[in-house]
Structure 1
Amino acid sequence: MSFAIRMGIPEMMQLWTDLSNKHVNGTISKKELSLLKKWGKALKLLSQDPTYPSLQSHEIEPLTKRYGIKVWQSYLENNTSRAMRMYWVYGPNRQDITIIGLEPHPEDKKNGAYDKISLSAMPSFGE
């Protein structure tokens, strides 16, 4: 089963568009290129199988409560300081996954660390 990957609005859509445009125009920095490559690989794996082992996808309950729908976290990288994490939800359409956040892993899982995570809105059903 494969999923269509969508970007949350406006932040995730804007970030993906900016990185893609910089790559095409040759103005992307090394750090941005590294992020684009890791994110692209993670998106490909996610679209094919959200439970792919290297993604280590799991629900983040504090974000689920805040967002009102199950919010999942998947790894872009691991075993590095402030490793990037991708936050996503199923929907809005059947067979869709929407990326709603991309941030470094919170350093401290306690004391409301996930309160600081900024999430995009989901596109409307049918968009």
Structure 2
Amino acid sequence: MKFTIKMGIPEMDDLWKRLQSEFHKNTINKQDSSLYKKWGKALKLLSQNPKHPSLHTHDIEALSNRYGIRVWQSYLENKTSGAMRMFWVYGPEKQTITIISLEPHPEDRKKGAYDRIPLSKLPPLE
């Protein structure tokens, strides 16, 4: 089952388009190139199978409770300091996944670490 991927806020869409453009023009810096490749791979896997083993997808209870909809986290990378995480929800249309944040993993394991994760405004659900 294939999913359509949407960006939850214009800034995320702008970031993706900027990275893509700079990559194809060969003007991208090393750090952005790495992010582009990892994010692109994760988006491809997510669209094909949100529960692909390498994504380590799991719901984040604190964020789900805050927003009243199940919020999922998938890995862009693992076992590295500040490893990037992609936060997403199903919807608003069927077979659609909306990316609502791209953030480093909260290093602080203390209660409330996910309270500091900013998420985009969720689109209306159908």
TM-score, normalisation: structure 1: 0.91
Superposed CA deviations along residues 65-121 of structure 1, whole A, max 9, x for unmatched, are: 112211000000011111111000000100000111111100013231111111112
Q: What is the 5 A alignment of 1:51-70?
A: 51-70=51-70
Partner of 2:117: 117
Structure 1 gaps, min length 5: none
Distance 2:111 2:57 in 1: 22
More relative contact order in 1 or in 2 (CA 8 Å, sep 6+)?
A: 1
Secondary structure in 2 aligned to 1:6?
strand
**CA RMSD of the aligned region, Å?**
1.6
Identity of aligned residues (%): 64
Is 1:78–2:78 an aligned residue pair?
yes
Conservation of the 8 A alpha-carbon contact between 1:12 and 1:120: no
Distance 1:79 1:104 in 2: 12
Distance 1:109 1:15 in 2: 28
Partner of 1:42: 42
Q: What is the 5 A alignment of 1:99-118?
A: 99-118=99-118
Secondary structure in 1 aligned to 2:22?
helix
Q: How many residues align?
A: 126
TM-score, normalisation: structure 2: 0.92
Partner of 1:7: 7
Distance 2:8 2:47 in 1: 15
Superposed CA deviations along residues 25-79 of structure 1, whole A, max 9, x for unmatched, are: 3321110010000000000000000010010100001111112211000000011
Assess, with a 3 A threshold, how the Cα gap between structure 1 residues 125 and 61 changes in structure 2: closer, same or farther: closer
Structure 1 runs (4+) greater than 6 angstroms displaced: none
Assess, with a 3 A threshold, how the Cα gap between structure 1 residues 61 and 125 changes in structure 2: closer, same or farther: closer
Structure 2 gaps, min length 5: none
